Amino acid sequence: MNMAALIFYSSSAAAAASPSSILFKHNSSSTTGRCCSSSSPGLAIPLASNLHSAAGADHHIKKAFRPPLQVEEQVTHSMPAEKVEMFKSLEDWAEKHVLTLLKPVEKSWQPQDFLPEPSSQGFLEEVEELRKRAMEIPDAYYVCLVGDMITEEALPTYQTMLNSFDGVRDETGASLSSWAIWTRAWTAEENRHGDLLRHYLYLSGRVHMRQIEKTIQYLIGCGMYIKTENCPYRGFIYTSFQERATFISHSNTARHAKQHGDMKLAQICGTIAADEKRHEAAYTRIVEKLFQIDPDGAVIAFADMMKKKIVMPAHLMFDGRDGRLFHHFSAVAQRLGIYTAKDYADIMEFFVGKWKVEGLVGLSGEGKKAQEFLCSLAPRFRKLEKRAEERAKQQALPTMVRFSWIFDREVQL
């Protein structure tokens, strides 16, 4: 899940966005006629007419369904065909080094392990206790938890994304290739995250479930565009980054829940965070292997993803009202320290070190440029963020935004 797209939407770093920045088309920003547009550099959200407001002569024509947020410019299949064969030749390696990081189902936790047992006598009492604990937690925290949960719930999009990568996709839906086995089992493990958070939030009584469910339906309908170009190099760099980002985010929601005295919620978030960590290890290992066998290809792909910036999976989030919902959710997460621009820079720096980018030798001219770019990236990014932070501090009044997820109560950004 997460919010480094706040980088993309709101920070000064957006000014450095590459020419391939995503162009969004906003089809129906509001069912009530209220619109939000962004003035961020590199981001264009042209507003079009409401989906349901047919006008003029074509009022009798039933309009086709369109997702409310669309990405206009997209790049596909950039990896040369011969590299597809390389991924096929890595099947045995993936079986030994990646599939071993999956947990057998019988040893896996299930959402029910952390929730009141509906068949037990004490069910209502347990729910009552859960709701009492939930009363102590502030609205801003719930905005973050709901955003995290919605991100997890858009899992069909992520499985689709993994199956868009050339050379590693699940060709049949039940393929026995190591890559396909990983993708299905990874999805099955991830599926528990949204389930658990959703059940908890439902029982808490603190959130507007219908608005949340609408947001999930919109988000899955919108999909995501993460600029991986069907290329598994870019794809696994993205997933490494993303799993680390979700690990950080869920760890921080666990820490905050503990501070608010809810040890059970802390345990829920901490358990999910541990899964993300294991998934991060798997994707990181794949990229490490790519750096070993094709350092030039790997370093160029890494630099390309960092130039384009990691777009967060829920960047097309919409609740039917707020055209800048993802930006607002990200801003709350940044303020609370659940996931911040500093985390984004830390992750970049971590992978530059982990994949030993500085020590790569024998690179092509393009590879060397990519290496130089990556090695100077985190400090430059931090400088830009610091300036953006200082500018934000100079703002006289805090911005308050209403979130439909919490019954339109206001939360400070």
Residues catalogued as catalytic: 109, 152, 190, 193, 243, 246, 275-276, 279
Phi, psi of 320 (to 5 degrees): 95, -5
Helix (H) / strand (E) element for 410: namely: strand 409-412
Tell the smallest beta-carbon distance from residue 195 to Fe ion (Å): 11
Q: Verify binding: residue 206, Fe ion, rule CB under 5 A.
A: no
Q: CB of 111 within 8 A of CB of 197?
A: no
What six digits make up the tokens of 163?
Answer: 């199956």
- The residues, any chain, with a CB within 8 Å of residue 198's CB and separated by 6 or more, are 149, 153
Q: CB nearest Fe ion: which residue?
A: 193
What's the start-to-end Cα distance of the chain, in Å?
Answer: 18
Q: Verify binding: residue 195, Fe ion, rule CB under 5 A.
A: no
Q: Is 31 helix (H, G, I), strand (E, B) or coil?
A: coil
Q: Verify binding: residue 296, Fe ion, rule CB under 5 A.
A: no
Tell the smallest beta-carbon distance from residue 1 to Fe ion (Å): 7
What six digits make up the tokens of 413?
Answer: 């950004």
DSSP for 273-322 reads HHHHHHHHHHHHHHHHHHHHH-HHHHHHHHHHHHHH----TTTT---SS-
Q: Verify binding: residue 327, Fe ion, rule CB under 5 A.
A: no
Q: Verify binding: residue 250, Fe ion, rule CB under 5 A.
A: no
- Candidates 2-10, 135-143, 145-153, 167-175: pick the segment binding Fe ion (CB under 5 A): 145-153
Closer CB to Fe ion, residue 193 or residue 327?
A: 193
- Sign of the alpha-carbon dihedral angle for 209, 213, 218, 219: positive
Closer CB to Fe ion, residue 74 or residue 110?
A: 110
What six digits make up the tokens of 334?
Answer: 């940044």
Closer CB to Fe ion, residue 265 or residue 300?
A: 265
- The residues, any chain, with a CB within 8 Å of residue 333's CB and separated by 6 or more, are 2, 3, 6, 144, 147, 249, 339, 340
Q: 279 labelled as ligand-binding?
A: yes
Task: Please compute, for residue 351, the number of CA atoms within 13 A of its CA located in the half-sphere on the CB side.
Answer: 34
Q: Is 350 helix (H, G, I), strand (E, B) or coil?
A: helix
Closer CB to Fe ion, residue 276 or residue 343?
A: 276
Q: 73 labelled as ligand-binding?
A: no
Q: Which of 166, 170, 190, 195 binds Fe ion (CB under 5 A)?
A: 190
Cα–Cα distance between 235 and 388 in angstroms, integer? Answer: 29
Instruction: Look at the chain and count its residues.
Output: 413
For the CA atoms of 22, 28, 29, 34, what is the dihedral angle to 10 degrees? 150
- Candidates 82-90, 227-235, 245-253, 262-270: pick the segment binding Fe ion (CB under 5 A): 245-253
- Candidates 83-91, 139-147, 149-157, 316-324: pick the segment binding Fe ion (CB under 5 A): 149-157
Cα–Cα distance between 133 and 272 in angstroms, integer? Answer: 20
Size of the site for Fe ion (CB under 5 A): 7
Q: Verify binding: residue 153, Fe ion, rule CB under 5 A.
A: no
Q: 389 labelled as ligand-binding?
A: no
Closer CB to Fe ion, residue 48 or residue 281?
A: 281
Tell the smallest beta-carbon distance from residue 152 to Fe ion (Å): 5
- Candidates 7-15, 76-84, 217-225, 242-250: pick the segment binding Fe ion (CB under 5 A): 242-250
Closer CB to Fe ion, residue 250 or residue 321?
A: 250
Q: Identify residue 75 by its one-letter amino acid code.
A: V
Q: CB of 380 within 8 A of CB of 369?
A: no
Closer CB to Fe ion, residue 68 or residue 194?
A: 194
Q: Verify binding: residue 193, Fe ion, rule CB under 5 A.
A: yes
Q: 190 labelled as ligand-binding?
A: yes
Q: Which of 276, 296, 343, 385 binds Fe ion (CB under 5 A)?
A: 276
Angle, in degrees to the nearest 10, between helices 232-259 and 325-336: 60
Binding mask 70-109 for Fe ion (x = CB under 5 A): ----------------------------------------
- Candidates 104-112, 253-261, 263-271, 274-282: pick the segment binding Fe ion (CB under 5 A): 274-282
Binding-site residue ranges for Fe cation? 152, 190, 193, 243, 276, 279
Binding-site residue ranges? 152, 190, 193, 243, 276, 279
Residues at the site binding Fe ion, with contacts judged by CB under 5 A: 152, 190, 193, 243, 246, 276, 279
